[in-house]
């Protein structure tokens, strides 16, 4: 697999996001994709740029079921802490 500089940086700092194949999250909120889209080959990493439509930064994950939007903090918690006990639970923003 071909790797670029972004992939090398991501590889040492990020973990796969559970439930979203080809997406990775770092502890500091950076989200990467290595999914093949359009004319790009898999293995070429790109960092996702979050949108701020709903106050907190959000990213869109492309899945087989269609696009799914998630807040960046939810993706980071899912990756590094695990799933919430119930859908009503949410992350604390005391940083």
Residues 9-45 have pLDDT tens digits of 565 678 999 999 889 999 888 898 886 555 556 556 6
Per-residue pLDDT at 22: 86
* Chain centroid to CA 19: 10
Cα→Cα distances 50→32, 59, 75, 84, Å = 11, 5, 12, 22
Contact by Cβ (8 Å): 62, 37: yes
Residues 47-82 have pLDDT tens digits of 777 788 778 889 999 888 899 988 888 899 999 999
- Cα–Cα distance between 48 and 23 in angstroms, integer? 9
Top pLDDT among 86 and 10 is at 86
pTM as predicted: 0.75
Contact by Cβ (8 Å): 17, 10: no
Per-residue pLDDT at 29: 87
């Amino acid at each position: 697999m071909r790797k670029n500089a972004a992939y090398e940086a991501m590889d040492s700092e990020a973990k796969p996001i559970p439930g979203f194949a080809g997406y990775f999250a770092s502890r500091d909120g950076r989200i990467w994709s290595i999914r093949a889209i359009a004319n790009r080959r898999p293995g070429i990493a790109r960092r996702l740029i979050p949108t701020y439509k709903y106050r907190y930064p959000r990213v869109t994950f492309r899945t087989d079921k269609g696009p799914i939007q998630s807040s960046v903090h939810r993706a980071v918690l899912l990756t590094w802490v695990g799933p919430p006990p119930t859908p009503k639970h949410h992350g604390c923003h005391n940083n």
